[in-house]
Amino acid sequence: MSNGSRRSGACVRCCLVAFAVASALYVSGPALYWRLKRGVKDGSPASPSSCLPCVCDCPPPLSLQKIAPDCGKHDPDLNREMEKQFVDLLTEELKLQAAVAEAHNHHMNYTLVEARRLASQYQKEAEKCNAATETCEEARERAEASLIREKKVTLMWEHRARQLGWQGE
């Protein structure tokens, strides 16, 4: 290993360590800052037992009946829904999820069948192309052999012509 590649490896390791330290400080820095600030403010180190209890004078949350007491009283569908038991609601939700899953499954099956059909079609087209290529290649080979035969015949006739005194062009 060369001195330059060792130095480069050490530089990469140093950069990775610096990045890890910076990331850790970025993630945990704010929490440490507030913990130390609270500890300095109280005059004692920060600890969970030094927190004062929270005093909350919040009013109780308003119910839907208190906000709009007549809301839905005249809607029979809404009344029927509100009277259903929790188990019935869960059962209905499960049925809906099953119906969605079945529709999704049906769609996926249709997509798979369509993909297989297209793959088969493309395979047939590829086989046709391969057959046509083989036919063309055979025709090219026959034409090349015929050309070679014609060149031999031409050379033979040219040789005979020269023997009989033909000068050529």
Contact 80, 73 (CB under 8 A): no
CB atoms within 10 A of CB 38: 15
The two structure tokens encoding residue 64: 């839907």
pLDDT tens-digit map of 13-50: 888 888 888 888 888 888 777 877 777 665 555 455 56
Q: Which band of pLDDT confidence, cut at 50, 70 and 90, is reported for residue 124? A: very high
Contact 50, 42 (CB under 8 A): yes
Query: Could you give phi then psi for residue 22, rounded to 5 degrees?
Result: -65, -40
Instruction: Please determine, for residue 84, whether its predicted confidence score (pLDDT) is greater than 70.
Output: no
Q: Map out the domains of the chain as residue ranges.
A: 86-164
pLDDT tens-digit map of 126-157: 999 999 999 999 999 999 999 999 999 999 99
How far, in Å, CA of 130 to CA of 124, rounded? Answer: 10
